[in-house]
Structure 1
């Protein structure tokens, strides 16, 4: 299992510190989600990891050693700006890009056709890129990053523009790489997708890491809420000291409780008023955690 790591990575543009001492590790065999708002520093960090952008300070390590140009030639990289030639056939471009990475032409062609087939594009392999939909162009760009059994994958918004079927196909391909012990780091604004796919999450705000861990670890740090379900209307909970009603819908309320005493007061009042069908903790979603750490 390989590990791709950054330590105290920093990048300044004049007076702007776009990336400010970022440290995290993308470990082999798992999908690591890299999330944050626009301008948080995700793309700059990925560019520095690939050597496309020079770092102001800090280190990029692969298996504990400083990453080299030779290492980076074995990484699969999907940049934010797509780099396809619109007037060339998709298959020809994939073979060309693979040959730049030292892959023999015959091997590149066979591998490109296999990937395109798995992504539902085998019958469009000879089409010029400009004739493909944006979603299909995205499939071709992803294929370019996956060529040659990469030792690590760094993907900037790989799921953007893909329909649900294409997303599932793409995930299957990525899982095939993680099964080989490859670290996969990808950025995305689709939090529901990140929550479903990732074994580890790194959240940036203002160029700094504000959360890093498995989904379960991050959920432990989020605000615990409780669901209360009554036999009648739950609107009265708004008046209970130490209880913050996040949402009330008929007999159901989503609540934040200040402490155990507030919970006891709430339950006693509910029992006094009638039937209590449920009072249970609600694990915070990734979207809730994201809002808490980035607000």
Structure 2
């Protein structure tokens, strides 16, 4: 896992005028404190608290309607919170601060009839880059994401996956001080995912906090140093993978030489799954493991009996149930 650096200095982008908000300093964290958003009588987000730590990838997961997109919109100032606040570097975030954030929204905001290069340079200018700096940054990112030869094409001529890459570049160009990305890996092939991960790691290496949402739990588990799980508008779990695993139900995998169906009758055992010679169980009584193993040895060979490392999918099901 990456280590959080307490103090770091990041020079302003070469094509951007220097300002207090473009010089990174220690404590480059996005803090979400009591964030709430109501739509009439419905609280889409209800008192959410978490921190996106500088220099780390934070995965934001939850089912449809959990409140992830609404939370991200409030972080970026697209929606005003009903209550709570967003803090940046230890103080309330400002509109000027947010100009330095890279944002990829859920709804893609591309002009279909405009050429890819022209459109991205225009968006870079809106972000405060000079024309030359914007073009240099866009050209580099197009090459790295495999779109160098498509720069003159109109967006509508691209596949959905390539349009996704263009939207990603819009968020990453220049030197964003923070990244908030809503489903950035959706529709990308494995090679594009790897390229995207390399780019994000370059940003975290200079202390940038990165928050991204995804429904791909295996990808989140592989990439993220920290996780935030949202359900029904509330944070139901947050921490490192190891911290979340430490609170998860412990499971054991038993592999026998014969059928394992008999384990259902062992006291102190909750059987999660049985598939032929393999059983996955939870021990409801600490003393049950010895009884289970003894019973298994009386029936034949025990090929494996080991504690299972809980997956993010298992943890997710437990905390959102």
Unaligned runs of 5+ in 2: 1-25
> In the alignment, which residue of structure 2 is the partner of 1:76?
102
Residue 32 in structure 1 maps to residue 58 in structure 2:
yes
TM-score, normalised by the number of residues in structure 2: 0.90
Aligned-residue Cα RMSD (Å) equals 0.9
Give, in whole Å, the separation in 2 of the partners of 1:283 and 1:141.
36
Structure 1 Cα separation of the partners of residues 234 and 62 of structure 2: 10
Matched residues in 1 for 2:52 and 2:261: separation? Answer: 46
- Cα distance in 1 for partners of 2:104, 2:55 equals 19
CA shift for structure 1 position 262? 1.7
Deviations 1:111-158 (A, max 9, x none): 100001000000001100000000000000000000120000000000
Cross-structure match for 1:226 = 252
Q: Is residue 188 from structure 1 mapped to residue 214 from structure 2 by the alignment?
A: yes
The Cα shift of 1:215 comes to 0.6
User: 2:284 & 2:300 partners in 1: Cα distance?
Assistant: 23
Partner of 1:291: 317
- Pairwise CA distance, 1:231: 2.5
SS of 1:260 mapped into structure 2 = coil
Q: Give the number of aligned pairs.
A: 295
Q: 1:277 Cα deviation (Å)?
A: 2.5
Q: CA deviation at 1:278?
A: 2.1
Matches within 5 A, 1:94-173: 94-173=120-199
CA displacement 1:165-199 (0-9 Å, x = unmatched): 11111001000100010000000011111011100
Q: Secondary structure at the match of 2:66?
A: coil
User: Residue 64 in 1 paired to residue 118 in 2?
Assistant: no
Instruction: Confirm or deny that 1:21 pairs with 2:63.
Output: no
**Shift, 1:7, TM fit:** 0.3
Task: Give 1:211 shift.
Answer: 0.3
SS in 2 for 1:153: strand
The superposition leaves residues 188-238 of structure 1 with CA deviations (integer Å, 9 ceiling, x where unpaired) of 011111011100000000000000010111111111100112232212111
Deviation string 1:83-109 (CA, Å, 9 cap, x unpaired) is 000000011011101101110001100
Distance 1:103 1:167 in 2: 27
Which residue pairs with 1:210 in the alignment? Answer: 236
TM-score (norm 1): 0.98
Aligned to 2:286: 260
1:3-39 per-residue CA deviation (whole Å, 9 max, x = no partner) reads 1110000010110011000000010111100000111
Please identify, of 224-233 and 120-129, the stretch whose mean Cα deviation from structure 2 is larger: 224-233
SS of residue matched to 1:40: coil
Equivalent runs, 1:229-240 vs 2, <5 Å: 229-240=255-266
